[in-house]
Structures are given as C-alpha cells and as structure tokens.
C-alpha cells in the first residue's frame, strides 16, 4: 500500500464518478430523458482508474529509486536505447 502513492487521487476520481452516477440515477427517475450510466460501464471506469493509478504509482516509485542511486550506478539512457 505504501508504494501506491497516487491511490488517494484515484479514489477521489472514483468517488466523484459514483456521485455523478447517483445524481444521474436520481434525475432519471424525475426526468426520464436524463441518461443512466450502465453498470458495466461503471465497472470499466473503476477498473481503468485503478489500473492507471497503480501504473503511475509504480512508475513514480521506480523513478524515485533511480534518482536515489549514486550517479555511478544509474543506467545510461543512451545505452538503454542502443540495446533495444
């Protein structure tokens, strides 16, 4: 859990999305023309947000660990691209 640095931002986005979905659900009951967000789409949004937050958190942690290394131990970016 400590490695997921951006989890709080992702949860805020998910909660805002769920709030909007609840408001639209209420509005659909009052005004039938207001669209509803289907459950599969909601689950997809939640999964995508959690995957993006996990990916960005792990990348941020990796970059922070690379910056903490002494310069002699840091990989040379030019050598990395030449090997590919």
In the prediction, which pLDDT does 41 show? 97
| Predicted local confidence at residue 63, as pLDDT | 84
pLDDT higher than threshold 90 for residue 1: no
The residues, ordered by sequence, that sit 6+ positions from 18 with a Cβ below 8 Å of its Cβ are 42
Contact 15, 62 (CB under 8 A): no
pTM (2 d.p.):
0.75
Output phi, psi for 49, to 5 deg. Answer: -65, -45
| CA 33 to each of CA 23, 25, 41, 81: distance values in angstroms, whole numbers, following the listed order | 14, 11, 19, 54
At residue 66 the predicted structure's pLDDT band, cuts being 50, 70 and 90, is confident
Note the pLDDT tens digit of each residue in 9-48: 999 999 999 999 999 999 999 999 999 999 999 999 999 9
Residue 82 has a pLDDT of: 58
């Amino acid at each position: 859990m400590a490695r997921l640095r951006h989890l709080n931002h992702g949860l805020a986005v998910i909660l805002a999305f769920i709030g909007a979905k609840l408001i639209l659900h209420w509005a659909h009951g009052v005004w039938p023309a207001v669209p509803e967000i289907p459950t599969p789409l909601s689950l997809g949004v939640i999964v995508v947000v959690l995957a993006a937050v996990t990916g960005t958190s792990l990348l941020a942690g990796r970059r922070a660990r690379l910056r903490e290394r002494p310069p002699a131990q840091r990989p040379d970016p030019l050598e990395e691209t030449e090997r590919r």
